[in-house]
């Protein structure tokens, strides 16, 4: 084994442990901050499904547009993979922006508090 190959079995478990530790640590800090503000950290988040649904819908529409552009406009010699990734990202971002606009409208109209 060379020097770099020797480091892989050491660094991969360390990286996985650090990632799991970081996620748990940040979640705990978030829950403590919510309790300090007087909110229940286990309470349901009202717009989670809307956000996830619009994200997946936007990514699907972006994928559809990329497929249609690939089939009808791109010549055979050009690789269309970057187009697919770009339009999935753009569609997902548009879905998240739409979710933000809907949540913002609900909060200001009804004066509700979002977690």
pLDDT digits (tens, 9 = 90+) for 25-82: 999 999 999 899 988 888 777 788 899 999 999 999 999 999 999 888 877 778 888 8
Write out 9-74 in H/E/C secondary structure.
HHHHHHHHHHHHHHHHHHHHHHHHHHHHCCCCCCCCCCCHHHHHHHHHHHHHHHHHHHHHHHHHCC
Query: For the chain, what are the domain ranges?
Result: 1-43, 44-110
Question: For residues 111 and 90, what is the distance between their CA atoms, to the nearest angstrom?
Answer: 31
83-115 core/surface letters (b: 16 or more CB in 10 A; e: else): bbeebbebbbebbeebbeeebeeeeeeeeeeee
User: Nearest CA to 58 among 112, 100, 27?
Assistant: 100
pLDDT of amino acid 114: 55
pTM: 0.60
Angle between helix 48-72 and 81-110 (nearest 10):
150
pLDDT of amino acid 1: 60
23 vs 4: which has the higher pLDDT: 23
pLDDT of amino acid 43: 75
């Amino acid at each position: 084994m060379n020097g770099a190959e020797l480091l892989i079995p050491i660094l991969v478990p360390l990286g996985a442990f650090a990632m799991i530790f970081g996620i748990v640590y940040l979640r705990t800090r978030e829950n403590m901050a919510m309790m300090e503000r007087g909110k229940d950290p286990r309470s349901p988040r009202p717009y989670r499904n809307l956000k996830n649904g619009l994200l997946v819908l936007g990514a699907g529409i972006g994928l559809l547009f990329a497929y249609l552009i690939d089939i009808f406009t791109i010549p055979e010699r050009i690789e269309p993979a970057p187009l697919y990734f770009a339009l999935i990202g753009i569609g997902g971002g548009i879905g998240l922006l739409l979710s933000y606009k809907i949540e913002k409208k609900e909060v200001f109209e009804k004066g509700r508090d979002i977690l």
